[in-house]
Amino acid sequence: MPEGIAAAAPAKSRQAYVTLVTNADYLIGARALLRAIRRTGTDADMVVLMTGAVPTEEAAPLVALGARLVRVELLPTSDAFNLAHARDRIHGEAPFTKGEKPAFHTPLDNFAKLRLWQLVEYDSVVFVDADTLMLKNCDRLFHYPEFSAAPNVYESLADFHRMNSGVFTARPSLATFERMIAELDQPGAFWRRTDQTFLQHFFPDWHGLPVFDNMLQYVWFNMPELWDWGSIHILHYQYEKPWQDPHPKAAKLAPLIALWEAYAGDGPVPVIASLPGPLA
């Protein structure tokens, strides 16, 4: 395989859902996500890009769910780049004012997501963050063009001009990966929202996915008129994570947290159509 990446098993499909695990907390999220993907009946591979911060033995529950583990190194970025994108620098120069990022949020690690372009054993991949749940089959996304992503909508329609990198479509290519690396770490580079800002820069003509392919949890209380359980394919727990304890927005997001907890366990999950809608 290409440098900086190593797979534990061969691919079984030409298409894959890919997520990234960089610490023990995202390992918790990935298990719930993989269980959700499995329930959609897809034949695509489920790939977990895993950095060295997570011991292989701790990933056994993911393998049991059918995941293909791919070990990845963090990108070979410069010291200046790493300093600029350290947690204290990111949160200081570009603070998150809409919600709270958990203590385990490690901005620099986000760039390891770009390693998926090295997965050239696949023709098409769909990236899904480990803090998401796939509620419906999304295989149609494998036929969408590179680069497709949903808008970063969770507060108002004014957000439609920005994309959210929690879900996107890609075509692995070593040539694309090399161009990304060359573009990423330029002198003075500062990507305000890490991979998300960079990807919107690298793919300025990105194609828009429906918001229901990456429904951000804050829509629940900020834009309740947009919420429709029957249309949501992927639910994204941006900002606070459903496994956090204490959870600063537990009261506001209680039904969404309960849904995630059902997928994170081993028992039945609710029928989505039976779930209550948000209070307007």
What secondary structure, in 3-state letters, does the chain show? CCCCEEECCCCCCCEEEEEEECCHHHHHHHHHHHHHHHHCCCCCEEEEEECCCCCHHHHHHHHHCCEEEEEECCCCCCHHHHHHCCHHHHHHHCCCCCCCCCCCCCHHHHHHHHHHHHCCCCCEEEEECCCEEECCCCHHHHHCCCCEEEECCCCCHHHHHCEEEEEEEECCCHHHHHHHHHHHCCCCCCCCCCHHHHHHHHCCCCEECCHHHCEECCHHHHCHHHCCCCCCCEEECCCCCCCCCCCCCCCCCHHHHHHHHHHHCCCCCCCHHHCCCCCC
**Position 88 in a domain:** yes
CA distance 215 to 212: 5
Q: What is the CATH number of the domain that holds 192?
A: 3.90.550.10
Instruction: Tell me the chain's radius of gyration from C-alpha atoms.
Output: 18
Task: Identify the pLDDT of residue 89.
Answer: 74
Task: Identify the pLDDT of residue 202.
Answer: 98
CA distance 138 to 40: 8
User: What is the domain extent for residue 127?
Assistant: 5-211
Residues with Cβ < 8 Å from 228, sequence gap 6 or more?
A: 212
**Position 70 in a domain:** yes
**Position 274 in a domain:** no
Name which of 84-98, 165-179, 214-228, 242-256 the model is least confident about: 84-98
**Position 11 in a domain:** yes
Tens-digit pLDDT profile for residues 135-178: 999 999 999 999 999 999 999 988 899 999 999 999 999 999 99
What percent of the chain shows pLDDT beyond 90? 85
Residue 9: how many other CB atoms lie within 10 Å: 11
Task: Identify the pLDDT of residue 85.
Answer: 92
User: Per the structure, how many domains does the chain have?
Assistant: 1
Task: Identify the pLDDT of residue 107.
Answer: 85
**Position 256 in a domain:** no
Please check the confidence at residue 102 and state whether its pLDDT lies above 60: no
Q: Would you state the structure tokens that stand for residue 263, as one six-digit string?
A: 């997928």
Q: Are strands 124-128 and 15-21 parallel, antiparallel or unpaired?
A: parallel
Please check the confidence at residue 20 and state whether its pLDDT lies above 60: yes
Residue 6: how many other CB atoms lie within 10 Å: 12
Tens-digit pLDDT profile for residues 229-238: 999 999 999 9
Reported pTM: 0.94
**Position 87 in a domain:** yes
Task: Identify the pLDDT of residue 183.
Answer: 97
**Position 165 in a domain:** yes
